[in-house]
Amino acid sequence: MDGDQRAGCRALICGVSGQDGAYLARLLLNQGYEVVGTSRDASSTLMRGLISLGIEDRIQCVSMAPNDFRSVLQVVLRFEPTEIYNLAGQTSVGLSFEQPVEAIESIALGTLNLLEAIRIAKRPIRLYNAGSSECFGDTGTTAANERTPFLPRSPYAVAKVTAHHLIANYREAYGLFACTGILFNHESPLRPKRFVTQKIVHAAHRIANGNKAPLRLGNLDIHRDWGWAPDYVEAMWRQLRQNEPSDYVIATGRTVSLEYFVEQTFKHFSLDWRRHVEQDPGLIRPTDIRHGAADPSRAQRDLSWRAHHDVDAVILEMCRAVAANADNDLH
């Protein structure tokens, strides 16, 4: 698709207020798209990500409840998007144990409503669905690829598996251009502070600046493939550029422990993490995944996509961002 063709494209980003929604909106605007973004209540949602990227005035934000079919259908018919990016729904594995019904409704039912809306609209809309590495469960030392069986171990993961299979079913049954990106962990300064990576970075910066209250974490012996969110939204866009829809594992291909993430973050601020981190058994999830590894080679081959940032670069960028924001707050 060349620039002139993209100029006539309208993208609907469901969940535009989140980390990925903001970075994807910026990418699509730079590609010449008109961008419409949804949140449950657009009038009251704080679009911090869009504001921080300086693009809030270039996006039309509308209210849409993913678990309400009438709401979804009305938005699809009103805006007639050429592409829909489904990034909405609950994003926390831990929260899904406390609110399992909300996890299923916002993720699985929300995906079904989008698929049904596209089917009923009878328009050539391309749909991207944000999947999750949590679907695989514990991979051990084996790197998961597109053929690896799913073994979900949380309500969040169960919802993502359901959404994944719904996408595949509608693609086969109705010929929809619908695909899922099976996303491994990806971070940025736009991550909410409740996520462990942000919690670590902000704590290290706080301690380095004199507040010595310890950082409390759960199990440090978990291993993840951490990437950079702006890299991953490019993969989303590239999946919808393909001639035929297909699902892809999106990751860096490098897995490290949470202890490594902590150690390198504290080292950036010239701190010994062992002096400032305490383990709290209360923060351990009921069925935590110990090891997650990925094989993104198919995405590299078919999409010409490769992660530009590995975990060390991610840590560096996040540490720089929290320090820069603190400096800005002083002026």
| CATH number of the domain encompassing residue 246 | 3.40.50.720
Instruction: Please check the confidence at residue 184 and state whether its pLDDT lies above 80.
Output: yes
Q: Which of 156, 170, 232, 248 is catalytic?
A: 156
- The least confident of 41-45, 170-174, 295-299 is 41-45
Q: In terms of residues, how long is the chain?
A: 331
Task: Mark whether 134 is an active-site residue.
Answer: yes
Q: Summarize the confidence of residues 125-145 as an average pLDDT.
A: 95
Distances (CA, A) of 7 to 36, 126, 138, 303: 14, 16, 43, 22
- The least confident of 102-111, 235-244, 251-260, 280-289 is 280-289
Domain of 61?
3-188+227-254+295-309
Provide CB contacts within 8 A for 162, sequence distance 6+: 104, 107, 108, 111
The answer on 303 and 205 residing in a single domain is no
Q: Which helix (H) or strand (E) element contains residue 263?
A: helix 258-268
Determine the Cα–Cα distance for residues 198 and 318; give it in Å rounded to an integer: 8
The answer on 148 and 26 residing in a single domain is yes
The answer on 103 and 181 residing in a single domain is yes
Distances (CA, A) of 271 to 17, 206, 276, 312, 318: 34, 11, 8, 16, 16
The answer on 14 and 147 residing in a single domain is yes
Instruction: Please check the confidence at residue 93 and state whether its pLDDT lies above 90.
Output: no
Task: Mark whether 156 is an active-site residue.
Answer: yes
pLDDT confidence of residue 7? 55
The answer on 155 and 218 residing in a single domain is no
The answer on 212 and 149 residing in a single domain is no
Q: Which of 83, 105, 134, 187 is catalytic?
A: 134
The answer on 273 and 184 residing in a single domain is no
Task: Mark whether 105 is an active-site residue.
Answer: no
pTM: 0.94
Query: pLDDT tens digit string along 20-68?
Result: 999 999 999 999 999 999 999 887 777 999 999 999 999 999 999 999 9
The answer on 133 and 52 residing in a single domain is yes
The answer on 268 and 137 residing in a single domain is no
Beta bridge partners of 60: 36
The answer on 271 and 233 residing in a single domain is no
Give the CATH number, domain containing residue 202. Answer: 3.90.25.10
Mean of all residue pLDDT scores within the chain: 93
With a pLDDT cut of 70, the percent of the chain lying above it is 95
The answer on 43 and 19 residing in a single domain is yes
Give the total number of structural domains in the chain: 2
The answer on 174 and 103 residing in a single domain is yes
